[in-house]
Structures are given as C-alpha cells and as structure tokens.
Amino acid sequence: LPEDVAGPLSDVEQEYIGAWVKQNDAAWREFATGSAKSYCYRPYATDPNDKDKPLWSLRLVHLPSLRELARLGMWRCRIDRQQGRIQECTEGYIAIARAGSHWQGKGTLLEQLVGLAIGGLARAEILNLVDAQKLSAAELKTLQDQLSRVYPHGFPLMNMEGERLFFMDLVQHSFTDGGPGGGHLIPGRWEELQPLMPSVGDEQNVRLFSTAWSMIHAGRDETIAKANELYELQAELMKMTPYQRHAGDLKMSDEILSSMPKYRYFLIERFVPASARVSDITYRGKMGHESTLTVLALKRWRLEKGAYPQTLDELIAGGFLKELPMDPYSDKPLVYKKTDDGFVLYSVGPNFKDDDGEVAMQNGRPRRWGTTEAGDIALWPLAKS
C-alpha cells in the first residue's frame, strides 16, 4: 500500500489496488446496499461444544469483515476520485459512514468502537476530498446533507448496557446460587476464565489462586450491587462531556475501581471497562462529525458569498448549518478564526486551555489529540504528512 495514504496513487499502486477492488466488487455492493437499511441484524455465535454458552465465549466473527469492507470502500473511493468520478466517490464515503453508524450506540463495546472508527475513517476521507478537490457549492451541499442524515437522531454516545449484561452473565456462571451473601465464587469457574486473566504460573498456582480468591471475593449479592452502582455511574457520566466532568471534578468509574479493595472485587476490577477513555473517544467522534459538517458549510459559504464568514453564527443565520459545533473540551463552540487565505477550526483539547491552535509536540512528532499539559486539536486545515 502507498506510504502516503492520503496522496494520489501511482500507476502501479492503482493497478494492484484496482484489481483487488474489482475482485471484491460484489461484496462492496452488498455492503453499500446494507448500509442504507434502517436496521442492522447481528448474528452472534458461541462455541458449539460449550453447553453453558457463557457470553465471554461470544464470537464476534463479523467484525474483521466489517473493517475490511470499510477499507475496501475507502480505496475504491480513492480510485473513483483520481479518475474523476466524484459522485461515485462521495456516495461511497457516505455508505461507509452509514455502515459505521449501524454499530454505534448498541451492542458490545468492541462493536461500538469499530463502528466509531469506521465513521471516523469516512469523515477523514471526506475532508481529504474537500482539501484536494475543488467541489462546487452544489456538490458540497449534497455531501453535507447526506452526511447530516447519517445520524437522524443525533450522534450516539457509548452505551454500556451490553457490558453490564456481559458482567451479569459472568456472575451467573461464576457464583453458587444461594448461601451466605447470595452465593460465593466457584473456584473451578475461575480456571475456565484463565484466557481472560493475567498469568499466575503453572497449573498448581492456578488452583491455589482460584481457591484463595473464592474465599476472599465478595459474595454474589454484594458483587452485583457494586457492579450495578458502577454501571449506573458510567451511564450518567457518559452523557457528560470531558469538560463537564472536569469542571465538576467528577470521578470516573476507573478512579473508583482503583480505590476499591482489589481482591474483594477482583471480577469487577478485571472486567468492568475503563469508561473515561471510552467516553473521550466517543466525544472526539462527535466532534469530528460536527466539525466535518462545519467545514463543508464554510466551503459552501465562500463559494456563494465570495469570502469566509467572520463568525460561525453567520452560518446558522444563513441556513448553512443547523447548530454550532460544540467543543467537548470547553463550554463553547469549536474555535473558528478567519485567516488571510482561509480559516482555522480547532478544539482547545484535553488541557482545557486555548493554545491558539498550536498542536503539542512530543519527541518531534505532533500529538494529534493534544495532551493534558498543552496542545489544541487542529481540525482544519488538515495536517500535511
């Protein structure tokens, strides 16, 4: 594959990638057609030899193909773009974005993260297209309208109910039913979870640790109550932007977990996911979606009005944008500044301070998402490789 994935393809690259794209044309067309549906059926499978069928043995066999089809569509659109088929190119990007949206806001955490990444891929490609190609005002409006319809009910935040279900199923398969505390951890079950656990050495050590943990660990009722408390907290904090959590000095479940007695709540410590990181990634995706729509609106404005607007509010008043793109790292919209030859659009980043659009550098390399010490998140113009 090309070293510069955003650059034009050479004749040799186009020949080899084009052959791969052509070979998978039928698969891409099914993918694009499926993306336009209003629903998404998900086949789940467990090990047929496992009679208990615990959720931890769930096989998400569809995810690798989903990722590959999104990559296939990306290269297909690159070739369309290079050969002047702009309409086919933009339709392909929207198909990728729609496909990603089907996997957001529901299902397992891994599925939602894959959907989020696929949507991010589509938006990055759209911005590369706008940066490299002189699209007409009509083409920009069509692309903006199509992209805005990808999330008809708003950008979905991360849903942790699938993870709660996974954990409760884990409890169901790992504790006795009844007795003091509602039941205790079954030593033999811990051995079955070994592929998901840290290494503790040979088989004798596994049995030793398994027995010890079953004696120390909280009972079934206490474990369920503590897990539900954390998942309820996660659900509330997921609705809050990083800035809102920062301003309220609120602790995420990750911090609460680290302060809990590790051995008493070992299953919770090991299997309840880190919500702070997941929440930040989700809000970055939301920011990426809103900023892409804003860039398209700004480009349209310039073509129709002859110059970029002084403020983003003019886009709202002129009907070019429905709502201002909000910065998840402040209580304000994304920072927009008109320049002599264009404009800049950025977020103040995870240090919650406006660094005038400067991106943090570390070991001579730019930190795209900033750091907690310094650096903004530059959304436009695009960074050059």
pLDDT at residue 289 greater than cutoff 80: yes
Segment 46-63 mean pLDDT: 81
Give 12's pLDDT tier (boundaries 50, 70, 90). Answer: confident
Q: CA 84 to CA 164: how far, in whole Å?
A: 48
Burial environment of residue 249 by CB neighbours within 10 A (0 to 12, 13 to 18, 19 or more) = exposed
Give 244's pLDDT tier (boundaries 50, 70, 90). Answer: very high
Strands of 335-338's sheet, edge to edge? 335-338, 343-347, 377-380
- The pLDDT value recorded for residue 57 is 79
Q: CA 174 to CA 182: how far, in whole Å?
A: 12
Give 13's pLDDT tier (boundaries 50, 70, 90). Answer: confident
Question: What does residue 152 show for φ and ψ, rounded to 5 degrees?
Answer: -65, -25
- What pTM does this model have? 0.91
- Asked whether 293 and 147 are in contact (CB, 8 A), the reply is yes
Say which residue, 42 or 20, is predicted with more confidence. Answer: 20
User: CA angle, corner 236, sides to 220 and 264, nearest 5?
Assistant: 25
- The pLDDT value recorded for residue 184 is 86
Lowest-pLDDT choice from 161-170, 255-264, 279-288 = 255-264
Give 206's pLDDT tier (boundaries 50, 70, 90). Answer: low
Give 208's pLDDT tier (boundaries 50, 70, 90). Answer: low
Question: What does residue 363 show for φ and ψ, rounded to 5 degrees?
Answer: 55, 40
Evaluate the CA torsion angle 65, 102, 280, 109 in order and state its sign.
negative
Structure tokens, 226: 């503590």
User: In this predicted model, what pLDDT tens digit does every residue of 255-272 receive, in sequence order?
Assistant: 777 778 877 888 888 888
Give 197's pLDDT tier (boundaries 50, 70, 90). Answer: low
Check whether the bond before 381 is cis (ω within 30° of 0).
Answer: yes
pLDDT at residue 198 greater than cutoff 60: no
Q: CA 287 to CA 105: how far, in whole Å?
A: 16
User: In this predicted model, what pLDDT tens digit does every residue of 24-36 receive, in sequence order?
Assistant: 999 999 999 999 9
User: In this predicted model, what pLDDT tens digit does every residue of 144-160 receive, in sequence order?
Assistant: 999 999 999 999 999 99
- The pLDDT value recorded for residue 21 is 94
Percentage of the chain with pLDDT > 90? 62
Q: CA 95 to CA 36: how far, in whole Å?
A: 7
Segment 318-345 mean pLDDT: 96
State the chain's mean pLDDT as an integer. Answer: 89
pLDDT at residue 229 greater than cutoff 70: yes
- The pLDDT value recorded for residue 245 is 93
- Residue listed under structure tokens 């609460």: 256
User: CA angle, corner 233, sides to 227 and 235, nearest 5?
Assistant: 105
Give 20's pLDDT tier (boundaries 50, 70, 90). Answer: very high
Angle between helices 109-132 and 86-101 (to 10 degrees): 160
Side chain identity at 66, as an amino acid letter?
A: L
Q: CA 296 to CA 321: how far, in whole Å?
A: 9
Percentage of the chain with pLDDT > 70? 91
